[in-house]
Amino acid sequence: MLTISFIGSGNLAWHLAPALDNVGFIVKEVYSRNPKHAEALTERLYQAEVKATLDFSTSASSIFIIAVADDAIKEIAREIILPEEAILVHTSGSQPLSELQFAATTNLGVFYPLQTFTKSKKIDFKSIPVFIESNNEETSLALITLAKAVSNSVKKIGSEERKAMHVAAVFASNFTNHMLTISKDLMENNGLSFDWLKPLVLETINKGLSTNPKQAQTGPAMRGDLEVLDKHLEFLKEDEAVAEIYRLVSQHIIDQHAD
Amino acid sequence: MLTISFIGSGNLAWHLAPALDNVGFIVKEVYSRNPKHAEALTERLYQAEVKATLDFSTSASSIFIIAVADDAIKEIAREIILPEEAILVHTSGSQPLSELQFAATTNLGVFYPLQTFTKSKKIDFKSIPVFIESNNEETSLALITLAKAVSNSVKKIGSEERKAMHVAAVFASNFTNHMLTISKDLMENNGLSFDWLKPLVLETINKGLSTNPKQAQTGPAMRGDLEVLDKHLEFLKEDEAVAEIYRLVSQHIIDQHAD
């Protein structure tokens, strides 16, 4: 059975390491810049121990998963000392495979689960699409074995496609969530409950995902109702940044639907 | 039992009129600028007939619901001829009650169901919050009776609050949906399937609604990862409008989370 070490103990490692453990892989070691965080993650695992340095030369693991902030991957790839034949992967949507090119192994890959992770929220890994990239067939097979064990949806894609997907995911996830944040602030600043908007949000998302979001678009911008847009901008005038987002997104909706 | 006439046969009337019909009210008449649209709506109703003009002087209805585009409400309120004691309401989130002030009745109100409606998509009216406003007690009671019959969530709010809520709803619904549209285009323009993002979107929305969207924010802007933001902007450089939305929303996330 494949034995795995984690470098990083953030939100992704927090969910991925136990998911691998639970399907029979052995997560042996967890390294983190902050040993307390590594310690907390090992407590979620059967056999894992905290690793204090990046010297894995005597490690029994065959796969090393870097799950750290994007800007720390390259440095870790340079510094990490690996046993022979080791496979080194990162888990980033935005970074190319080449981010690992100066590592002391020739078996390189990417293992990218497309989901938003928070430590406090349990998640079913089976439903998360996992995207695989690698620089040789053997690594590819190992990563596919790993991915299929935890996910029902495994695909091979290249670095450029993954970058496109990551940008798309920022709009679909980070920006939709930020629209909810702005909306909640507007409600609460006017003494209204954000709860009242929940049926609307759920229906919007269900409709957008089940049909086609462009066809499902509604609202004043979609209707080209400039009078309402002006009223809304007047209403938002004390928060310049939010007004500018309103103006820009509305204009883009108008332009798209004027085609 | 209250008898009702509709002015307008768009997306809202399409769902509201049958919902009222189904709980025992009698929708008697449907007027639309386009008589074919009125005809199509009457076919969804038990007893309704198409009304060819705005002269309702001999109508048996006691409540007249204007469900038309926002910019047409005022003109209809001026033109409509009503029987004595009639209640006249509009259904707009963005327009004040005073939009009806030149109507030939003193019983004025607003009946605003907060939801996104499309004709082709069935919807459970019971779960839709309905917001009521009126200029006298009798009208208020009639509208509350109507609203409670079709919805489990009925609230009285004033025109200013309703406007704030409507702006918030644009962000929570129209703009989240537009983020999905941009995302889908990015995926498909790069040969990727939008379906792959669905688990991410559902998890994002569930998390944002069940906890607090501001606390649930993730992504490069939230982490202040300027290197990734630059890469994404570089990736988007051929679509200036989308790049500008990316820049502006990311900056707002950065500013909010730098507090």
B112 pLDDT more than 70: yes
Tell me the one-letter amino acid at A132: I
B236 pLDDT more than 70: yes
pLDDT band at A259 (very low <50, low <70, confident <90, very high): low
Look at residue A119 in the predicted model and tell me its pLDDT.
86
Residues from chain B that touch A175, judged by Cβ atoms under 8 A, are 179, 245, 249
Look at residue B258 in the predicted model and tell me its pLDDT.
81
Residues from chain B that touch A192, judged by Cβ atoms under 8 A, are 157, 161, 164-165, 168
Q: Which candidate in B92, B98, B205, B206 is best for mutational testing of the A interface (most A CBs within 10 A)?
A: B205
A167–B199: do the CB atoms touch at under 8 Å?
no
Look at residue B121 in the predicted model and tell me its pLDDT.
84
Chain A residue with CA closest to B243: the answer is A167
Under DSSP, the state recorded for B72 is G
Shortest CA distance to A148 belongs to which of A170, A122, A128, A173? A128
Q: Which candidate in A120, A159, A200, A251 is best for mutational testing of the B interface (most B CBs within 10 A)?
A: A200
A35 pLDDT more than 90: yes
Question: What's the gap in Å between the CA of A74 and the closest CA on chain B?
Answer: 13
A172–B180: do the CB atoms touch at under 8 Å?
yes
SS3 sequence, chain A?
CCEEEEECCCHHHHHHHHHHHHCCCEEEEEECCCHHHHHHHHCCCCCCEEECCCECCCCCCCEEEECCCHHHHHHHHHHCECCCCCEEEECCCCCCHHHHCCCCCCEEEEEEECCCCCCCCCCCHHHCCEEEEECCHHHHHHHHHHHHHHCCCEEECCHHHHHHHHHHHHHHHHHHHHHHHHHHHHHHHCCCCHHHHHHHHHHHHHHHHHCCHHHHCCCHHHHCCHHHHHHHHHHCCCCHHHHHHHHHHHHHHHHHHCC
The 10s digit of each residue's pLDDT in B82-98 is: 999 999 999 999 999 99
Provide mean pLDDT across the span A75-103: 96
- Indicate the residue of A191, A205, A225 with minimum beta-carbon distance to B69: A225
Look at residue A194 in the predicted model and tell me its pLDDT.
97
Under DSSP, the state recorded for B64 is E
- Indicate the residue of B71, B128, B165 with minimum beta-carbon distance to A187: B165
Residues from chain B that touch A176, judged by Cβ atoms under 8 A, are 176, 179-180, 201, 204-205, 208
Distance in angstroms (rounded) separating the CA atoms of residues A74 and A93: 14
The 10s digit of each residue's pLDDT in A101-160 is: 999 999 999 999 999 888 888 889 999 999 999 999 999 999 999 999 999 999 999 999
Residues from chain A that touch B249, judged by Cβ atoms under 8 A, are 175, 178, 245
A69 pLDDT more than 80: yes
Q: Which candidate in B12, B153, B173 is best for mutational testing of the A interface (most A CBs within 10 A)?
A: B173
The 10s digit of each residue's pLDDT in B6-45 is: 999 999 999 999 999 999 999 999 999 999 999 999 999 9
pLDDT band at A8 (very low <50, low <70, confident <90, very high): very high
Distance in angstroms (rounded) separating the CA atoms of residues A36 and A222: 51
Look at residue B259 in the predicted model and tell me its pLDDT.
62
Look at residue B211 in the predicted model and tell me its pLDDT.
86
Q: In sequence order, which residues have a C-beta less than 8 Å from that of residue B62 and are 6 or more positions away?
A: B2, B3, B4, B83, B85, B86, B87, B142
8 A C-beta contact, residue B180 and residue A213: yes
- Indicate the residue of B69, B186, B200 with minimum beta-carbon distance to A173: B200
Provide mean pLDDT across the span A75-86: 97
Chain A residue with CA closest to B240: the answer is A252
Out of A109-123, B65-79, B125-139, B149-163, pick the least confident.
A109-123
Average pLDDT along chain A: 95
The 10s digit of each residue's pLDDT in A206-237 is: 999 998 999 999 999 998 999 999 999 999 99
Shortest CA distance to B175 belongs to which of A227, A191, A231, A256? A256
Question: What's the gap in Å between the CA of A119 and the closest CA on chain B?
Answer: 11
- Indicate the residue of A121, A201, A236 with minimum beta-carbon distance to B173: A201
Shortest CA distance to A254 belongs to which of A225, A224, A215? A224
Dihedral angle over CA of A8, A10, A16, A18, nearest 10 = 90
Look at residue A64 in the predicted model and tell me its pLDDT.
98
Distance in angstroms (rounded) separating the CA atoms of residues A205 and B205: 8
Residue with tokens 């935005």: A94
pTM: 0.92
A181–B221: do the CB atoms touch at under 8 Å?
no
- Indicate the residue of A71, A114, A202 with minimum beta-carbon distance to B200: A114
Look at residue A57 in the predicted model and tell me its pLDDT.
97
